[in-house]
Amino acid sequence: MCGIIARIGHGDAAETLLSGLENLEYRGYDSAGIAVQNGSGVKVHKCSGEVDDLKSSLESQPHGNMGIGHTRWSTHGPPTDANAHPHTDTAGDVAVVHNGVIDNYDELRAELQAKGHEFESDTDTEVIPHLIDEYRTETGDSEEAVRRAVETLEGSYAIAAIVDGEEAVYAARKGSPLVLGLDDEEWFLASDVPAFLDHTDEVIYLEDGDIVVLDPDSYRITDLEGTPLDRSTDTVDWDPEDAGKGEYDHYMLKEINNQPTSLSNTIEGRIDDGDVALEELPAGTFEDVETVQFVACGTSYHAAMYGANLLRSAGISTEVVRASEYTSMSGPVDEGTLVVAVTQSGETADTLEAVREATARGARSLAVTNVVGSTAAREADDAIYIRAGPEVGVAATKTFSSQAVTLALLTQRLAADVPTATPAEDRETMLEELKELPEHVERVLETTDAESLARDTVDSKSYFFIGNGLGHSVALEGALKFKEITYEHAEGFAAGELKHGPLALVTDETPVFAVATGSGDGKTKTNAIEAQTRGAPIVAVSPDDHPLTDVAEVHLSIPDTHPVWAGLLANVQLQLVSYHAADLLERPIDKPRNLAKSVTVE
């Protein structure tokens, strides 16, 4: 969790740091801070609260051509002013921002305190500037001190540091993302590209063990021994506009409305002559695969359920495991197992750990991710990108639909490659219908009644979402979205499960959203009627002439399409219901309490 940024160049750094932090706030928003160097001491400004609070706490913009910044999601110590980053050594000469977790901070802190270092926060991070200071005293060389400090640390980190009187930014990474941005007149380091996308699209994705030294005119990357490394430069194809809110009140609404475009990008060039054409995964890639294990968390888990359902229909033995449960819940793994990590950010610690364990047990790995150069993409044997573009709202929306479509395409590749599988007979029709999906989403967005429905139901006690098969994963996703941004109680169920317990909670104050996909909807209808008999208002999310509409009090319409895609249209309606309900309740939609977009701790 947490977002870090650093900038060095000519001219003041503070404004760039603050706007960069705003673009990183999706990574954490319970405190923020910057430190700048202006030749007369390192000046630290930090406070609990959001970047906006930090900006209003600054009487004037601090001067200095280099600096570091941080936006925090607390792990060690509550979100107080003292625990906000940057942290410094006792004299305040070395300032550090950090994303990650230092496992051996307790013992390091005790050792440093015994040597006279004074600590001011509860954080694990604070040991880092003290260590750098300690090693500077020993070696007289800040770069060497940073190197020794990171060698002493156990855990995960992306760090950036500045030192009083030195025209340099020092940085290092292990297990937490760090990207170097290269502009003509300035260099940047950040946890993610949107932090500096307004300035440059030329980047270097740093690797674990890299040490970086930036001065105003050059940059150097070395390994832990000081050997220079040659890292390749990439050009990011995201538009700076993609990282902004545009005409919308919230990123979430922008991203829901962006789905016709993001889905077109996901599909583009991947259907050829009635078949799937995946450049990254050509025919024959999976000939040796016998079973598939999906690992994922949250929304990505629901997309993985969607994909697993399709793979099972193709006759491929498939398991979906919540990544955080992998150690205790996964089935047998061997060389015939393909572990598929579904992760928007590519940085979710639980998911990365599950993949590492599966590969250690012999599995081959594939990352399905949105972020080029992410840890998942780099560590997995293969990667396929969902191409949804940057998603800033903490609630995942457009990435869910792009993940599900990418997994459906992947299913076709696996079904063709795996010897025991049976490719879908109606593959051509299904792929033809996929080409129509962006237009169908457009229609949902133009005609939706989600806002008035949200207004009519917003005082309810609880919200239930049911569906069968593919509709089950959409029901779970609908409920997750609803609770995450409205703070109201919402649960998703396989339709048939309602009567095995949850029905006890159903009253006339618990609307039940019934998701139709055109396959297995009979169960959903029967169970919706059972809930209705107990007083629950039923909302059918279905095509117009669907049998569910005979039962439901309210109808959210979706265009007729192939059953594989119908659930994704229903999901857009549910995203909109959640959004409007949260808006009516005046919730901080893009930054729900206690959450962060990229969960880089286990």
Among 123, 313, 337, 343, binds ligand M6R (CB under 6 A): 343
Q: CB of residue 393 vs ligand M6R: minimum separation in angstroms?
A: 8
Neighbouring residues of 506: CB distance < 8 A, sequence distance ≥ 6: 464, 498, 512, 531, 534, 535, 536
Q: Which residue is nearest to ligand M6R (CB)?
A: 298
CA 343 – CA 295 distance, rounded (Å): 9
Q: CB of residue 319 vs ligand M6R: minimum separation in angstroms?
A: 18
By CB under 6 A, tell whether 298 contacts ligand M6R.
yes
Q: CB of residue 514 vs ligand M6R: minimum separation in angstroms?
A: 22
Q: CB under 6 A: which stretch of 88-96, 152-160, 345-353, 468-476 binds ligand M6R?
A: 345-353
Binding to ligand M6R (CB under 6 A) within 111-140 occurs at none
Contact criterion met (CB below 8 Å) for 6 and 160: yes
How many residues form the binding site for ligand M6R (CB under 6 A)? 17
In which residue are the tokens 């980053």 written? 85
Among 394, 407, 548, 564, binds ligand M6R (CB under 6 A): 394
431-434 contacts: CB < 8 A, separation 24 or more?
431/271, 431/274, 431/275, 431/276, 432/274, 433/561, 433/562, 433/564, 433/565, 434/267, 434/271, 434/405, 434/408, 434/562, 434/564, 434/565
What DSSP state is assigned to residue 469?
T
Single out the catalytic residue among 398, 483, 591, 597: 597
- Write the interaction track for ligand M6R spanning residues 250-289; mark x where CB under 6 A is met and - where it is not: ----------------------------------------
Q: CB under 6 A: which stretch of 57-65, 120-128, 179-187, 343-351 binds ligand M6R?
A: 343-351
Q: CB under 6 A: which stretch of 81-89, 229-237, 297-305, 332-340 binds ligand M6R?
A: 297-305
Contact criterion met (CB below 8 Å) for 155 and 127: no
Return the closest-CA partner of residue 35 out of 58, 10, 2, 1. 58
Extract the tokens encoding 218: 């050059």
By CB under 6 A, tell whether 324 contacts ligand M6R.
no
By CB under 6 A, tell whether 2 contacts ligand M6R.
no
Q: CB of residue 162 vs ligand M6R: minimum separation in angstroms?
A: 30
Of 297 and 431, which has the nearer Cβ to ligand M6R?
297
Neighbouring residues of 344: CB distance < 8 A, sequence distance ≥ 6: 299, 300, 369, 370, 371, 386, 388, 391, 396, 399, 403
Beta strands in 386-462 (DSSP E): none
Q: CB under 6 A: which stretch of 74-82, 280-288, 310-318, 339-347 binds ligand M6R?
A: 339-347
Among 132, 297, 528, 581, binds ligand M6R (CB under 6 A): 297
- Write the interaction track for ligand M6R spanning residues 470-509; mark x where CB under 6 A is met and - where it is not: ----------x---x-------------------------
Q: CB of residue 42 vs ligand M6R: minimum separation in angstroms?
A: 34
Binding to ligand M6R (CB under 6 A) within 436-455 occurs at none
Query: Is residue 174 among the annotated active site residues?
Result: no
CA 293 – CA 287 distance, rounded (Å): 16
Query: Is residue 591 among the annotated active site residues?
Result: no
- Cβ-count burial 191-211 (b if 16+ within 10 Å, e if not): bbbbbbbebbbebbbbbbebb
Of 170 and 400, which has the nearer Cβ to ligand M6R?
400
Q: CB under 6 A: which stretch of 51-59, 66-74, 292-300, 357-365 binds ligand M6R?
A: 292-300
Among 31, 300, 462, 578, binds ligand M6R (CB under 6 A): 300
Contact criterion met (CB below 8 Å) for 514 and 526: no
CA 490 – CA 481 distance, rounded (Å): 9
CA 89 – CA 206 distance, rounded (Å): 26
Return the closest-CA partner of residue 379 out of 404, 359, 407. 359
Give the footprint of ligand M6R on this chain (CB under 6 A).
297-300, 343-345, 348, 351, 394-396, 480, 484, 597-599
> So which residues are the catalytic ones?
2, 597
